[in-house]
Amino acid sequence: MHGLAILQWIERVTKQRLQIEEGALYPALHRMEEKGWLEAEWGHTDAGRRAKFYRLSPVGRRQLTAELARWNQYAEAAALILEARGGST
């Protein structure tokens, strides 16, 4: 996926509820590439235009799993706190 496709995907799945500064995506992509989470390669789009494509690397996939687990834990904890506050009032 190239950068624009990633953004379009985010817009699609969030139903355009998440408004982000589009340019900020690129430093993030490069940083993940440098860390080895993403693999990058120049290629051509279906329309035949040259673009830089990113793919999740095995390392990146492991990282994603770990981050997801952490996020879930956090979300669960947050939900518990919110529930607890609801109960006390």
Partner 1 sequence: MSPARWNLRRVFRLPSTRRRLHDDVEAELAFHLEGRVEELMRDGWTREEAEREARRRFGDYARIELEVERMTIESERRRTMRDRVDGVMADVRYASRSLARQPVFAAVVIVTLTLGVGAAAAIFHALDRVVLHPLPYPDAERIVYLGTRWGKERPIGAVPPGRFQFFHDNNRVFEALATLRTFNAQLGDDDSGTPVEGARVSEDLLKVLGAKPLLGRGLVSRDYEPGAPPVAVLGHALWATRFGADSGIVGRAIRLDGRLYSVAGVLPASFEVVEVQSPLAVVLPLVLSSSDLEDRGANYTAIGRLRRGVTDAQVGEDVASMFGAYRRQFPERVEKDDGVAVMTYEQIFAADLVSQLWIMLGATLFVFLLACANVANIVYARALTRRREFAVRAALGAGRSRIVRQVLMEMLLLGVASTIAATAASLASVRGLVALARGALLRESQLRLDPRVVVVTTIVAVAASLVIGLVVGLAATRAGYTRSLVGSARTSGLGGSSAHRGARGVLVGLESALAMVLLAGAGLLISSFLNVLRVDGGFRREGIYTASLSRPPRDYSNAEVSRRFEQRVLEQLRATPGVISAGATATLPLRRGWNLPTTVQGHNDLSEGATEFRAVSPGYLGMMDIPILAGRDLAETDVAASPPVVLVSEAYAKRFFPGASPIGQRVLVGCYKGCPDRHPTPMEVVGVVRDLRDASLEQARPRRTIWVSWVQAGGDMSRVPAFVVRASDPGVASSALRRAIAEADPRMTPPDIMAMSDIVSASLSWRRFSMVLMACFAGLALALTCVGIYGVAAYAVSQRVQEIGLRMALGARPASVVALVVRQGATPAALGLVVGLGLALYLTRVLSKLLFGVGPRDPLSFATVALVLLGVAVAASYLPARRAARVDPAGALRAE
Q: Which residues bind partner 1 (CB under 8 A)?
A: 2-4, 7, 21-24, 26-27, 30-31, 33-34, 41-43, 49-52
Rounded (10°) CA dihedral 28, 32, 33, 36:
180
Question: Residue 48: left if φ>0, alpha if ψ -120 to 50, beta else—which one?
Answer: left
Find the shortest distance in angstroms from Cβ 60 to partner 1: 16
Nearer to partner 1, 42 or 88 (CB): 42
Nearer to partner 1, 17 or 50 (CB): 50
Nearer to partner 1, 44 or 70 (CB): 44
Find the shortest distance in angstroms from Cβ 83 to partner 1: 37
Distance in angstroms (rounded) separating the CA atoms of residues 34 and 66: 19
Based on DSSP, count helices (H) and strands (E) in the chain, helices before strands. 3, 2
